[in-house]
Amino acid sequence: MSLIRYESPDVWRSLDRFANLRDEINTFFDGPSWPAATQQAQLFNGWTPALDLYQTTDDIVALVELPGMRKEDIELSLHDGMLTISGERKSDVSENDKAARSERFVGKFRRSISLPTRVDANKVNATYKDGVLTVTLPKAEEVKPKQIQVNIG
């Protein structure tokens, strides 16, 4: 879909891809009930959090699935009509722990989406609840629908 701009993979991501590919192969032998869509997305992009976009009369609203983050590790930026959500999920595995199964993504992620209309960058508001980030971006005044009074003579 043309709405999403995927980041071009860099060297580190390419290395990640091999690790994920290994998982993918293991998964193949393991059985079919794996969260395949998530895995496939991660194979190419590290972590691509699912994003939904809504349009209301006054706002553009983005819902982003970011389970288990700390608020302070989520970054939002707006540039040239492009909303970017980035951040880092730090590993919470201690030295004494041994990972018997490791599907959760750990590391840096970045997700961009171009917004369908111009927004007022100074009035963007975000909340984070139950692992879902809600970003409310008020539309710029000039793109808001206006009631026009027409006098018919």
Please report, as ranges, the residues that interact with another protein according to CB under 8 A: 1, 3-4, 30-31, 33-35, 37-38, 50-57, 59, 61, 63, 65-69, 93-94, 96-105, 113, 116, 128-132, 134
Minimum CB separation from another protein for residue 122, in Å?
21
Tell me which amino acid residue 109 is. F
**Of 105 and 109, which CB lies nearer to another protein in the complex structure?**
105
What distance in Å separates the CA atoms of residue 55 and residue 61, rounded to the nearest whole number?
6
What is the H or E stretch that residue 64 is in? strand 59-65
In the complex, what is the shortest distance from the CB of residue 41 to another protein, in angstroms, rounded to a whole number?
A: 9
For residue 43, the one-letter residue type is L
Closest contact distance (angstroms) between CB of 152 and another protein is 31
Find the shortest distance in angstroms from Cβ 151 to another protein.
Answer: 31
Q: Judged by CB, which is closer to another protein: 65, or 151? A: 65
Rg (C-alpha) for the chain, rounded Å, is: 20
Distance of CA 106 to the CA centre of its chain: 15
Q: Which is nearer to another protein, 56 or 77 (CB)?
A: 56
**Nearer of residues 10 and 65 to another protein, judged by Cβ:** 65
Contact assessment for residue 117 and residue 96, using Cβ atoms and an 8 Å cutoff: no
Measured CA to CA in angstroms, residue 87 lies from 66, 74, 76, 81 at distances of 10, 5, 9, 20
